[in-house]
Chains A and B, each alone.
Chain A
Amino acid sequence: MTSDLSTPAAPDGGAESGAVLDGNAAAGDFAGILASDPTTVTVRCGSCGSTQAFGQLSACLGGPGTVLRCRQCEAMVARVAKTPQGTWLDLSGSSSWLFLPAPGPA
């Protein structure tokens, strides 16, 4: 995995790629807030009710904050933003987060 802001297209893979990635790429920021690895958390979308692993959510990075969207209905489920006042965590678009016991170091 490679990421670099100023490049318009991904290094390979054929199809065009935008800045929409997945929850794996947002994990560093959320790991700084949550007590455990976020990528394995099962997140339920507050809009359509579908569940997906945090690591599979769509993620928009590089803006003033990081926005995570449901891969089924594209509703915003979570966002985090670092500001001079502090770090904002908005989970209002999700209805639940299920943290499974993690077996390995994460």
Chain B
Amino acid sequence: MTDTNATEGQADSSAEETPPAGNHWRKATLIGVHPQSWHSRTLVLDVPGWAGHLPGQHVDVRLTAADGYSAQRSYSLAEPATPDRVAVTVDLLPHGEVSPYLVESMELGDELDVRGPIGGWFVWEPGDPSIGDGPVLLIAGGSGVVPLVTMLRARKRAVDSTPTMLVYSLRGPRDLMYGPELEEMSADLSAPGSAEVRLVYTRKVPGGHPRPASHLTVEDIKPPSAWPEPLAARVYVCGSSGFVDHAAGLLHKAGYPDDRIRTERFGPTGVDR
């Protein structure tokens, strides 16, 4: 990492000229790590001056090597807004260039640069008047669950009672992210901040799970019977490009209008500079 603390500090102190959000690299220091599955972990970063964000927004992360080579990636914000704090949950891509460092090597006190928050399209804030009291359907493929769990956490924090369901497609039990949290959130559906959670295993099913392994089906995204107007739901889909196309096809088949569906795709998109 380059040592540019002095100049960065000076730039930050000129509070009069706040550059547009998203266009400003800030120094971030790793202050916490939480394992999420066997191949992913949450990194909590101290980012002085971070003013906050909306659930669903993402950050660009930049690593710079001693020789000046740098690599940049995008990660969804993994926690609702907290001043001076950014959390991302990173899934290990074994032959990746950045994720092995973030998941396996980066240590407390190490630094990187973050830019953001980015994006106002794939967001849901509890109480958002454009959604009103209508239900919210969240559909995740793999690590696409990260921004959707951030939405659920924000909803819980706000004690929001918008009817909400998460449908989470994953390969097998050891790929499950946020397992204990999702279990707790869905244990008692009458509790404030609770949400219905459906786990859709595509390859390996844990013992006792009623659904056999298969890709996401129309049946999996069928809304709970308690929802008065399911097709009026706002739908968020996040996953790989292939998963998003598949889920959007099922939603169209089920009759959801296009303008209720918001999607975000991830994949091998690194930009090296």
Flag whether B269 is at the interface (Cβ < 8 A).
yes
Q: How far is A32 from B271 in the complex, measured between Cα atoms in Å?
A: 15
Most chain A CB within 10 A, of B22, B141, B143, B202, is at B22
Minimal beta-carbon separation of A85 from chain B (angstroms): 15
A-B contact count (CB 8 A): 219
A3–B242 CB distance below 8 A: no
B20–A31 CB distance below 8 A: yes
A6–B97 CB distance below 8 A: yes
B240–A27 CB distance below 8 A: no
Please, which residues of chain B bring their CB within 8 A of the CB of A31? 20-23, 118
Flag whether B53 is at the interface (Cβ < 8 A).
yes
Flag whether B76 is at the interface (Cβ < 8 A).
yes
Minimal beta-carbon separation of A38 from chain B (angstroms): 8
Flag whether A24 is at the interface (Cβ < 8 A).
yes
Minimal beta-carbon separation of A35 from chain B (angstroms): 6
B175–A12 CB distance below 8 A: yes
Query: Quick one: closest B residue to A55, CB to CB?
Result: B121
Task: Give B26-64 as 1s and 0s: 1 = Cβ < 8 Å from A's Cβ atoms.
Answer: 000000000000000000000000011110011010000
Instruction: Give 27 pairs: A residue, B residue, CB < 8 Å, sorted on A.
Output: A1-B75, A1-B144, A1-B146, A1-B266, A3-B74, A4-B96, A4-B269, A5-B71, A5-B98, A6-B97, A13-B141, A15-B241, A19-B267, A19-B268, A19-B269, A25-B266, A27-B118, A28-B60, A28-B118, A32-B23, A35-B20, A37-B119, A37-B121, A56-B121, A66-B271, A104-B54, A104-B120
Q: Which residues of B line the A interface, CB within 8 A?
A: 20-23, 51-54, 57-58, 60, 71, 73-76, 90-91, 93-99, 115-123, 125, 141-144, 146-147, 169-171, 175, 202, 215-216, 238-246, 262-273
